[in-house]
A and B are shown apart, each in its own frame.
Chain A
């Protein structure tokens, strides 16, 4: 499982996990002590003296105060450590929609900004600063292996830092109830070694791959001629709507429909034919296409790495 709070894959989530174990240890001791006293009080045969009882209560209150103070301070200092401003972060803007994640990598040059959806690839060992906002309702970005969560609110921009220590795939889910398909709004954070990340980034900057065969070419015609262009864009074609996810490099993603199904041609065709069967309530409607048109479309999209 790559989405566990207690299996941290970065320094930020490690800090939180360590603090959690401290709290759990203290809680376990406190619980056993209190229950121990309770059981002893229930089972004892002779009355305890009032003096002993009052003294025990006073000591217990004092110890409780000290413990609570200690826990509070440890949380405060952990929070300060986590809130430290990162040096030279990679900035990414994440906009949450019902029920997908719009991701745009910031760059001083507009031509070097990558726009993608539902999958956030990051270099290892480098702090990532996410700027978070929402387009419609409140959502929450949560990748447990890497960090705590942060809400995305319409009308606000919030911030979240991520750091992955090692390469890997880290899954997360929207953690604020946002409507019908809140359950199917996953995000994949894929950490790559720095060179692999740069290679991926440069590939993402390029326009969509040209179709390699007549079927795929027909698929592109189908795409441009039907309902898809009302919501989606593919760089290098005339399709430039931004209501839905960017499909320029759709085939390079691990999962489809914000983590609803793994990304392969069969799932892609099934998704296009009837999204409501996989994700009822999603904003993408069923597309009425003849069988071979659908196959061609899926073939075209599967080549867009």
Chain B
């Protein structure tokens, strides 16, 4: 093993698996975990659809149904949609920007474990009949102490705590890695659009998550220690919950959507065989979407009797956000039009599916953003249709395109193209059959979150059709699973750049080695693999006896200094366990926060405790200032 391999290798066996800080291993298991939660939440939806397939059905009673739709929504939004995007980003971004790991590798591991434990907690409590039951947005007073007995609402609030922290950790990684660890020469104007999208998303996470943290904390304290935040009789306000939640909740859906926009901006140009048209416009559009998304939240509250003039501003903002989104769509179409003959493959199929489905969702979104129309459509199945069109069309289809696109890089195998087409068509047709009728059901007066309806309502036929579509989606997911399993078993390694794509991650082997790049490349183009000659200019002199990365300057990626990253450690895993115990305990007693902080403190001390051998190595590669100056002078002389 070369010194580089040795330095970046994990310990063997289960200890290595638990203590790894390799962003690729963590990213991959993170993606797999989110997909497991996706499958579980999807099964809950299947049960709901079975219940709703017939009028006055008795498959599931109201109590279980309420938990079904609440856990479905909560799991999909907090355990799948946001985390899967972050997970893909944590895998790809260091590769795309030409570095060896994320900025805070142990924190990365901690963020994954905390996410896993929180997600497991949600499904365990659901199995124990303590699942959340007031919807994924858990409105008070229904979720408050008087109307929600037991611990169901408290576990929902604690799930938020787990996933918020995990999301914030991911956001910090992404911002710092993308801003400070790019390969030399990769100015901000040469950064891949997926990285831009993830940076923008991460800033949205940083600003939005505190709001839901506040809301859920107030709910926890109202329920546990009798604060009065949401009690109108004692000076609180039920609308406070809605404002705090939706101030987070609206950016949340863009946190889910913007990464998908980034993925499309990577996939589509590869198959159009030209770089994206209007790179600067695309970046500006992403940033505009992020800013605007913070000004829309009241459109979830249009029926609460707020002053009409104030609500008009939110209508204006809600409608305005269609503009940067539309700009992105137009630029992509222009890219397809001006490229060479389009090459069709499964990743592009899913991206095309995005266009067909998401645009419908965007247009119904403009309808819902209009206060007048929203007064009829809000809280009906029209909204259920809209949200699935934008989330599945806008995020899941590009995500699947991303899976087919990046699968060879992550695993070293290609996914079957034929199975991919079956996957796509079953998903596309099943999705539209499942969700388009819901627009009509909403217009026919069917409200959301009803566990049953009467035969006299006339809603039965469309509900039955929708259920058939839902099961078609389930079949398409099975096809995907079979495709993945069979492809992993197939012999034949994928080449390092099977799609002839342009960005740096394709310069590594499939899958990449633990250290990503044997030498850090120097970049002088937005599409390095299309324009730069091989072998590319590279950075030399990074010490290889410790995990080192090159830290560069923010806007022009000039080398700044060498940073030494932490080595693998079991402490993040242990810290996550301690944190979990503290959080779960605080559902039952506020003292858990006090006593639980002790083990957390201990694990954090272990985490940061210096290792003698590593310290010795660090000393050995330290360069004193005078020595450093002498070396620079010598180099200049040698180069001149």
| Residues of A in contact with B (beta carbons under 8 Å apart) | 1, 3-6, 13, 15-16, 19-20, 23-24, 27, 30-31, 34-35, 37-38, 40-42, 44-45, 47-50, 53-54, 56-57, 60-61, 64-65, 68, 71-72, 75-76, 78-80, 82-83, 98, 136-138, 140, 142, 144, 147-151, 153-156, 158-159, 171-183, 280-281
Contacts and interface: CB of A to CB of B under 8 A. Distances in A.
Contacts of A40: 337
Contact of B373 (A1, A23, A178): A23
B444 interface: yes
B278 to A, nearest CB: 7
Given A27-B366, A54-B277, A149 B322 contact: no
Given A149-B378, A281-B62, A19 B370 contact: yes
A150 B377 CA distance: 11
A61 B329 contact: no
A188 to B, nearest CB: 12
B465 interface: no
Nearest to B62: A180
B376 A31 contact: no
Interface stretch (B24-32, B313-321, B578-586): B313-321
The 10 closest A-B pairs by CB, nearest first: A148-B375, A155-B232, A158-B305, A3-B445, A75-B370, A183-B450, A41-B336, A27-B363, A41-B337, A53-B334
A16 B376 contact: yes
Given A1-B458, A30-B363, A149-B379, A68 B322 contact: yes
Interface stretch (B83-91, B245-253, B339-347, B514-522): B339-347
A41 B333 contact: yes
Interface string B427-452: 00000000000000011110111111
A177 B341 contact: no
A75 B338 contact: no
Given A15-B372, A148-B378, 7 more contacts: A38-B355, A41-B333, A41-B336, A72-B316, A148-B376, A156-B232, A156-B238
Interface string B340-369: 111000000000100110011001101100
Given A50-B277, A57-B330, A61-B323, A23 B370 contact: yes
Contacts of A45: 341
Interface stretch (B122-130, B135-143, B392-400): B135-143
29 contacts: A1-B444, A5-B443, A16-B372, A20-B367, A27-B363, A27-B364, A34-B355, A38-B336, A42-B342, A57-B331, A57-B334, A68-B320, A75-B370, A75-B373, A79-B371, A136-B146, A138-B141, A138-B238, A142-B380, A142-B445, A148-B374, A148-B375, A149-B375, A156-B305, A173-B445, A174-B447, A177-B142, A177-B449, A281-B62
Contact of A182 (B341, B380, B449): B449
A35 B323 contact: no
Contacts of B238: 138, 153-156
Contact of A177 (B139, B352, B377): B139
Given A68-B320, A175-B380, A183-B452, A56 B445 contact: no
B499 interface: no
A149 B445 CA distance: 11
B445 A23 contact: no
B450 A182 contact: yes
A150 B373 CA distance: 13
Interface residues of B, number: 76
- Interface SS majority for chain B: helix
A40 B337 CA distance: 8
Nearest to A75: B370
Interface in B27-52: none
Contacts, number: 229
B344 to A, nearest CB: 8
Contacts of B277: 50, 53-54, 57
Nearest to B326: A64
A183 B377 CA distance: 17
Contacts of B333: 34, 37-38, 41
B372 A78 contact: yes
A124 B349 CA distance: 55
B363 A31 contact: yes
Contacts of A182: 447, 449-450
Given A19-B372, A151-B304, A173 B326 contact: no
A81 B141 CA distance: 33
A183 B57 CA distance: 12
Contacts of A82: 372
Interface string B157-190: 0000000000000000000000000000000000
Contact of B315 (A4, A44, A75, A156): A75
A57 B303 contact: no
B66 interface: yes
Q: Considering residues B142, B147, B233, B323, which has the most beta carbons from chain A within 10 angstroms of its beta carbon?
A: B142
Contacts of B334: 41, 48, 53-54, 56-57
Q: Considering residues B147, B237, B308, B337, which has the most beta carbons from chain A within 10 angstroms of its beta carbon?
A: B337
Nearest to B277: A53
Contacts of A60: 326, 330
Contacts of B233: 155
A3 B456 CA distance: 11
B305 A53 contact: no
Contact of A44 (B330, B337, B363): B337
